[in-house]
Structure 1
Amino acid sequence: MKRLSWGLALCLALGLPGAAAAAPVLRVGVVDGSPPCSYQVAGVWRGLAIDLWSRVATLERLPYVVTEWPSVRQMLEASREGRLDVAVGCINVSPDRLQRYRFSLPFQEDGLAVMVIKSRLDLGRSFLGALLTPTLLQLLGGYLLAIALLTWLTLKLEARSHPAPDSRQSFLRHSSKVFQVLATGPGSNTIVATTRGNGIVILAYLVRIVSASLLVGYLTVNVAGEIQGKATGAIRSPADLRGSRVGVRSGTVSEALLKELNASSSGAKVTIVPLDSIAAGGEQLASRRIDALLADNLQLSHLLLQEETKGFLPSLALEGIRPESQAFAFSPALPEATTDRIDQAISALKRSGVVSELRQQATTPVAPQPR
């Protein structure tokens, strides 16, 4: 599929000066299904890399036509063989690619990430398991023990004002009432009548405040962290993907990483599941046809923002794996004067904050439009 750049088409239609002496039309390749870098919506190309290239071409007045390629590998090979002038996308500049292809000035750096998905029931079990930890039980036990000690002191100090009942059952009922009041707060005026008794009530209040702060801090830091760890399963490094079904796009550095894992171990292998798009990987995760999704960190962060799958909670088990620069790829036959202009434009757009702005837009949730 080919499309003349809007800048050149407008120039030709209006007959502006310089149209006749326009530079040779560049052949630009893109790959669909890689949001937020490059993808199509209603036949229109969008994405961080597409927008960046459009600005570069406008800034340098470079006319171009766009062709779609089925995979990054095929697009890079086309650029190496001279069938393309520029391959546009968030293309990782890995060491092996650096030996084979010609790249532009990098416009950003990104690593790989692993997305997994858990059902809400699984997360509920993880939450209950995280609650039943020795530390939390010790905190609760310490609080109850402190209240029990204060209950004993209250009964002893208030023996004259509130004499203990004669029967054992009445005494236990009275003691439990004092314990409940000291533990919860309301009704303290009914159990003490002396100054020392009021001091015990105040001390019980302080114990409640301190204990509540400790419990909230523990739940916020420790339990939340443990739940996140359990939600992402036993994946602590890329090697933990062995024995799992992992979805990747063909011809990417993600696929190369999985092949490297399989080649370096004689044990369980990663089952590599080719994907047509990152969105398709999210759907396969939700339907449990794959166990994990491996892609660029930016792509998976974008996927998390796009849509929530009912009954499932996606999360990033690993982030920042093997961070590498990302750039466009050039044909070896592309004149150096043209590549220099493109590199200078990329540098200017980076310095002016345009690249950072485009990246921020790609990782910011879009507010729903009012109906």
Structure 2
Amino acid sequence: MTVVGLWLLPWVAQAQPAAGRELVVGTRAAPPFAMKNAEGQWEGISIDLWRHVAERLNLRYRFEERDTVAALVDAVSNGQVDAAAAALTVTAARRQVMDFTQPFFSTGLGVAVGRGGATAWLPVLRTFFSFGFLQGVLTLLAIALLVGTLIWLFERKQHEAYGGNAMRGFVAGVWWSAVAMTQAGAAQDGPRTLPGRILAVVWMIASVVTIAVFIAGITSALTTQRMQGVVRTANDLRSIRVGAVAGSSTVEYLGMQRIGFQPYNLPADGLRALKAGQIDAFVYDRPLLAWTVQQDFPELEVLPITLDNQNYAIALPLENTIRVALDVTLLATLRSEWWQQTRFRYLGRDASN
């Protein structure tokens, strides 16, 4: 027997009261943590982890499926099952009615949106109505007005286009300044005085640089906004139509953030509603959301942000007799090469997240 096996012997003995009967382990479809293969057998990160731990503790068990998160939570809290291995998040509300093992996976909430479409243009519109954009436009206008005023003052006695009525001359100066700044065409009625021509040369050269910098800044801002997506923080969810799975930890988070949402029984239901344009974003556990979108909804995408912090663990009824044994075995397993390979097999490059 290995050193690790000898070290686990006391905890295996502690779990023996439960090993005398067949445990009922609740689960629900939550790929890639719990799902059925082509033969109808359960597999996934949580399922494989439970099998690995149960084998070392000599536990007999069978899986029992529940349709929803709420049904699985109720089954654990009411003692209808002896454990739950799926993708259950540890929350304060759940901890009041059930027990949890050591967390085995840390994640957060992801946000799915449509690829393209009207919603995808919201970040662009947000940029054009942002304070920074308006500030840049007003700055350019102020400089154009200043140059136009100076041209009028320099030219009003030497150039008939800027003479006569003060308002007429001022408007002519500002118009020439705007045309010269934007390079919209050949600027008519150019300055004739030496100060006016010096100012005109300086302004035309400076305006080329100013416009180029302004356009580059706006292009960069638009690119960044499009890459970040319609949602960057929880605040952005308040201005769009949001969907979430009823009874999930996502609902608790949205409630604390005072964010309204449309409830759905299953993630697939919410993603179909998103695809149909009935909602603008769907919020759910990030790894589960990414898996479902990748497999079944290529028209959608998961934004590169993570909201909230979540921990997955095996759920147990209160006053159970095997939590300590499970914890010790889990802690040893989570540091093993087997666990690293299991995560990589299901999550690939996202296994380190």
Paired AA for residue 253 in structure 1: S
Q: Percent identity?
A: 26
In the alignment, which residue of structure 1 is the partner of 2:324? 340
Runs of 4+ in 1 over 4 A off after TM superposition: 120-127, 217-224
Match of 1:288 in 2: 277
Aligned to 1:318: 305
CA offset at residue 303 of structure 1?
3.1
Per-residue CA distance 1:340-369 (angstroms, 9 max, x = gap): 22222211210104333333333338xxxx
The reply on whether 1:110 has 2:119 as its aligned counterpart is no
| Aligned residue type for 1:107 | F
CA distance in 2, matches of 1:82, 1:97: 14
Change (3 A) 1:27 1:333: farther
Change (3 A) 1:102 1:125: closer
* 2:154 aligned residue: none
* Residues 81 and 225 of structure 1: CA distance in aligned 2, closer, same or farther (over 3 Å): same
Report the structure, 1 or 2, having the larger strand content.
Answer: 1
Task: Using the TM superposition, give the Cα deviation of residue 67 of structure 1 relative to its aligned residue in structure 2, in angstroms.
Answer: 0.9
TM-score (normalizing by structure 1): 0.57
Please report how far the alpha carbon of residue 74 of structure 1 lies from its aligned counterpart in structure 2 after TM superposition.
Answer: 2.3
Matching residue within 82, 91, 96 for 2:93: 96
> Which runs of structure 2 are paired with 1:72-91 in the superposition (5 Å)?
72-91=69-88
Shift of 1:125: 11
| Alignment RMSD (CA, Å) | 3.6
Does the Cα contact within 8 Å between 1:115 and 1:300 map onto a contact in 2?
A: yes
Matching of residue 273 in structure 1 with residue 263 in structure 2: yes
Which one-letter code corresponds to 2:224 in the other structure?
G
Alignment of 1:1-371 (within 5 A): 23-32=20-29, 34-42=30-38, 43-119=40-116, 224-229=223-228, 232-233=229-230, 235-262=231-258, 270-276=260-266, 278-307=267-296, 309=298, 312-316=299-303, 318-319=305-306, 321-335=307-321, 338-364=322-348
Q: CA deviation at 1:304?
A: 4.2
Give the match's secondary structure for 1:332.
coil
Contact 1:305 1:363 in 2 (8 A): no
1:200-231 superposed Cα distances (whole Å, 9 cap, x missing partner): xxxxxxxxxxxxxxxxx9999876534313xx
Partner of 1:179: none
TM-score (norm: length of structure 2): 0.60
Residue 104 of structure 1: how far off its partner (Å): 0.9
Gap runs ≥5 in structure 2? 1-17, 128-132, 137-215
Cα displacement (A) at 1:99: 2.6
Q: Conserved in 2, the CA contact under 8 Å of 1:107 and 1:355? A: no
- Compared CA separation, residues 224 and 328, structure 1 to 2 (3 A): same
